Amino acid sequence: MTSKTLGQKIFFGLAMLFYLAAAAAGVGLFLYEPASPLDPILASLIASVIFFAGSGFAFYTVATARLKGLLALKGEGDPPGHP
């Protein structure tokens, strides 16, 4: 198991929060009875599900990325003579 940075732990928590919000909006979408076919509330619920699920996926991807070797301290791996 690789150790995760503080930022990755925060992103993981945000991902779970966004997945929960997508699920809540999905439940609201399922329970809502539209007044007309062009109901703006229905459209906003659909947009909320898509936004929260997509953002949750992006945050989860960042949270589970293997960063070892991608992050380097200043001076590590610099070519000789580099300032």
Domain boundaries of the chain, sorted by first residue: 19-63
pLDDT < 70: residue spans in the chain: 1-2, 69-83
Q: Can you give the pLDDT at residue 71? A: 60
Q: Can you give the pLDDT at residue 60? A: 96
Distances (CA, A) of 60 to 6, 15, 47, 65, 73: 14, 5, 20, 8, 25
pTM of the model: 0.76
